[in-house]
Amino acid sequence: MAWQIGAFQLGTWGSSLPFSPNLDCFHLPTVAYDSTSSIHEAPDRGVKLPLNNGQNGKYLGYIGKRRNVGKHLSFADLTLPSGQVFQLCSKAEDDADAHKKFRQVPAHSPVLVYADPDPADPVEQDRNAKPTLNTRDIQTLNSFPKDIIVTPETIFPQTDRHLQIRFHPELQARIRFRAWLKSVLNQALLEKGFTDVETPTLFKPTPEGAREFLVPTRQKGTVYALTQSPQQYKQVLVASGIGRYMQWARCYRDEDSRADRQPEFSQLDMEWAFAGADKVRQDINDIILKALSSLRPAQAYQDFRDGERIPVASTPPGSAREVEGPAAHQFTALKFADSIAMYGIDKPDLRIPGRIHEIPIPDTARHFVSMITHLPDPVVEAFTFSLNDCSPEMSRRLVIDFMKELPKQFTENADGMPQILVYDSSKPLCGFSSIGFEYEAVLEAASGGKELNDGDLVVFQARPKHQGQYTSSSTKIGELRSILWKALVEQEVMETPRLGDPGSLQFVWVTEFPMFQPVQEDEPWKAQDAGAGIAACHHPFTAPLSEEDLALLFTDPLQARSAAYDLVLNGVEIGGGSERNHIADVQEFIMRDVLKMSDTRIDDFSHLFKALRAGCPPHAGFALGFDRMVALMTGTSTVRDVMAFPKTMKGEEPFVGSPSKVTNDQLAPYGMTLSK
């Protein structure tokens, strides 16, 4: 008896299992091609798949496009499941029938190849060459549609994500690197004595800083909230005696989509009992350096299409590997206040040359200040950029084009627009007549004493003098500096280190953040839980930095610093953490008296207070945004390029078509209906 399924004919297996009793192979129905390319049952009624690729001369994988050298000689690539590529060679003189079958197999089909290594394999002389296999026979395991055109330049849409992953080599390389990096970090934490604990995804709504996804239940009027992070669970775990906790956690936040955000994402979550910030940073540096030590330019980085350079690492965790050449990474530490003063942002990108300086204004420059701002007594800051092989006239054209495209946040800034001047030795006062005769002192301050040349840019921006601690995450000149640098790099008049080159991975620890800030206009949901009109910069479980900062919570909370720390890579936050409030009375005081949360909201944390009051030790934690880290380490600006099935900017997943429309019948068990 046999069954016909479309073009496939399956042989009779009876009651036997589809694998051999000696466990050396699995049986699958085969697909063969005759001279007219029709599909029929293979003579042996099944294919014996080897348990190990290459066993007894049997190789499994995808066959590439065939390259014919006349009628009697053909070549094709065979890509194994591991990603390794062999070159197949088929000769009519060895077996005319096998050669005929080889030339009829559609490109990109999964195949089983019977082959022997070529004794004259060029890989012996050239380690970069593909190993060659002489084909004895070939079986096709499924067919690939002929109407799908695949070329090295083909770009498939997101609705065909399966084809993107298979045929976009840079996407598959990033997914493979992601798996490798995860294994290295995981092994490093296990070696440090961490315990991997899974915590629930279905949690309860609590004010942790972001908008939540709610999941209704059949207990009408009740909902779960998908966890924004395992924050409370991990604090309870260290209070429960789990001294070193870790978890590869899935997290969910209903935020407005941006290039570096997804509604669901992965983070490496960690918590340390009896530890503070220094221990956390030491351990995080250790595990990241363990991976970075294997990524040296001569060994790990490969070039892909469109100039993309991606690390292709295959070293098993814990194995030794000899490295060559200088490291691509550098670690720096900055306090929040210094980061704002020097770079105008709490996520500094140290690939950008120079820094921002506050400019002392001479009397002759007062008119210039009045031109760039209407503020009566402003702070004026400036920075300089040196351009490569750029004449003053060319620089002026670049500045004009840049200013035309400047976002409204700069052009409509109430403090004034930025001013960009070009150094030009052929002009009076080198092009700085608007500043006056004391321009040299201003340039000296703006450049930090660095000599300027023709075509170099000097950028000025005014802002109000700030009383007390600065609590915003950036200044306008800090934001401008970043986008101007990126624009100039794109125009190839400034440079950025190529991925893998020294200085291309700039890690920065930013510490001593403000503990609180006024509720931001773009985060109105925080006001629901902050009757005081202020919100925690990180989250309400963060401890004050010192006794002095604890005292400020009673008098002026906005001046208090926190024991929080962020890890930044190339201007993007890839992780954050803090020392926690392990004394229940301090935690309750912050929620009730500083943030002025309602009693109902505070009661939502009763489980946490119970754990804190049960002798909870001092503890600290950190969460590494794994998607972002992988994206930056593989040279892409979006986390969508390192996720197998990402969401779009609208929160949609095009391949499966989620989210789906819901009906009243589906909502009825939850006591819900669609609004009209």
Picking from 495, 514, 535, the residue at the C-terminal end of a domain is 495
Residues 239 and 289 in one domain: yes
Cα dihedral 295/300/301/304 (nearest 10): -140
610-630 pLDDT tens trace: 999 999 999 999 999 999 999
Distance separating alpha carbons of residues 77 and 480, to the nearest angstrom: 49
How many structural domains is the chain composed of?
A: 3
Residues 511 and 471 in one domain: no
131-185 pLDDT tens trace: 999 999 999 999 999 999 999 899 999 999 999 999 999 999 999 999 999 999 9
Q: What pLDDT was estimated at residue 532?
A: 79
CATH code of the domain covering residue 38: 2.40.50
* Residue-number span of the structural domain to which 290 is assigned: 170-327+506-665
Q: What pLDDT was estimated at residue 5?
A: 47
Q: Which residues of 555-564 are buried (b: 16+ CB within 10 A; e: fewer)?
A: eebebbbbbb
What is the chain's mean pLDDT, rounded?
Answer: 88
Domain-located, residue 346: no
In percent, the amount of the chain with pLDDT more than 90 equals 76
Residues 110 and 80 in one domain: yes
Q: What pLDDT was estimated at residue 327?
A: 82
Indicate whether 526 pLDDT > 80: no
Three-class secondary structure of residue 574 per DSSP: strand
Residues 629 and 566 in one domain: yes
Indicate whether 121 pLDDT > 80: no
Q: If pLDDT is split at 50, 70 and 90, which confidence band does 46 have? A: low
Residues 371 and 282 in one domain: no
Domain-located, residue 345: no
CATH code of the domain covering residue 226: 3.30.930.10
Domain-located, residue 676: no
Q: What pLDDT was estimated at residue 524?
A: 55
Q: Which of 218, 338, 235, 180 is nearest to 611 (CA)?
A: 235
**Contact between 598 and 604 (Cβ < 8 Å):** no
Three-class secondary structure of residue 549 per DSSP: helix
Domain-located, residue 550: yes
Residues 129 and 206 in one domain: no
Picking from 464, 495, 526, the residue at the C-terminal end of a domain is 495
The model's pTM: 0.88
- Name residues whose C-beta falls within 8 Å of residue 125's C-beta, 6 or more positions apart in sequence: none
Domain-located, residue 338: no
Distances in Å between the Cα of 275 and the Cα atoms of 117, 241, 285, 610 are: 56, 14, 15, 21
Domain-located, residue 163: no
Q: What pLDDT was estimated at residue 104?
A: 94
Q: Which of 48, 51, 67 is nearest to 130 (CA)?
A: 67
5-22 pLDDT tens trace: 444 444 433 333 344 444
Residues 448 and 549 in one domain: no
Three-class secondary structure of residue 464 per DSSP: coil
Q: If pLDDT is split at 50, 70 and 90, which confidence band does 328 have? A: confident
Neighbours of 48 (CB within 10 A): 17
476-512 pLDDT tens trace: 999 999 999 999 999 999 999 999 899 999 999 999 9
Residues 207 and 75 in one domain: no
User: If 0-12 CB within 10 Å is exposed, 13-18 middle and 19+ buried, where does residue 104 land?
Assistant: middle
Residues 485 and 512 in one domain: no
CATH code of the domain covering residue 371: 3.30.1360
Residues 305 and 371 in one domain: no
Domain-located, residue 529: yes
Residues 77 and 96 in one domain: yes
**Contact between 613 and 587 (Cβ < 8 Å):** no
**Contact between 541 and 588 (Cβ < 8 Å):** no
Neighbours of 26 (CB within 10 A): 15
Residues 287 and 394 in one domain: no
The mean per-residue pLDDT over the stretch 235-255 comes to 95
Indicate whether 299 pLDDT > 80: no
